[in-house]
Structure 1
Amino acid sequence: MKSSLYILFFSAILCSSFTCKKEDKTEAIQIQKPSTKIDRDSIVSYAKNYIGVPYVYAGSDPKKGFDCSGFVSYVFKNFGMTLPRSSSGYKDLGTALNPEEFKVGDILVFYGYKDRTVVGHLGIICEANGMQSKFIHASSGKVQSVTITSLDTEHYTKRFYKCIDVISK
Structure 2
Amino acid sequence: MRYVIAISCLVIIFVSSLLLLKIKQSQVIFKSKADTIVIRSGTDQDTSVYNPHIDSVNELYINTGKTQPAELVSYAETLIGIPYLYASSNPAAGFDCSGFITYVFNHFNIQVPRSSADFTNVPHEVSISEAKPADLILFTGTDSSSHTVGHMGIVVQHENGLLLFIHSTSGKADGVTITPLNDYYRSRFVKVVRVFPQNENS
How many residues of Structure 1 are paired with residues of Structure 2 in the alignment? 136
Does structure 1 residue 138 correspond to structure 2 residue 168?
yes
The structure number with the bigger radius of gyration is: 2
Gaps of 5+ in 1: 1-31
TM-score normalised according to structure 2 size? 0.63
Match of 1:14 in 2: none
Which protein, 1 or 2, shows the higher relative CO under an 8 Å CA cutoff with sep ≥ 6?
1
Contact 1:102 1:130 in 2 (8 A): no
Match of 1:33 in 2: 63
Report the RMSD for the aligned CA atoms in angstroms: 1.8
Deviation at 1:53, TM superposition (A): 0.2
Aligned counterparts, 1:154-165, within 5 A: 154-165=183-194
Letter in 1 for 2:167: H
Compare the two structures and name the one with the higher helix fraction.
1
Letter in 2 for 1:61: N
Aligned counterparts, 1:101-140, within 5 A: 101-114=130-143, 115-129=145-159, 132-140=162-170
Instruction: Give the whole-Å Cα distance in 1 for the aligned partners of 2:163 and 2:113.
Output: 23
Deviation at 1:33, TM superposition (A): 3.1
Letter in 2 for 1:143: A
Match of 1:45 in 2: 74
Deviation at 1:116, TM superposition (A): 2.3
Instruction: Give the whole-Å Cα distance in 1 for the aligned partners of 2:197 and 2:136.
Output: 12
Gaps of 5+ in 2: 1-61
Which of these residues, 43, 55, 70, is aligned with residue 84 of structure 2?
A: 55
TM-score normalised according to structure 1 size? 0.75
Deviation at 1:77, TM superposition (A): 1.0
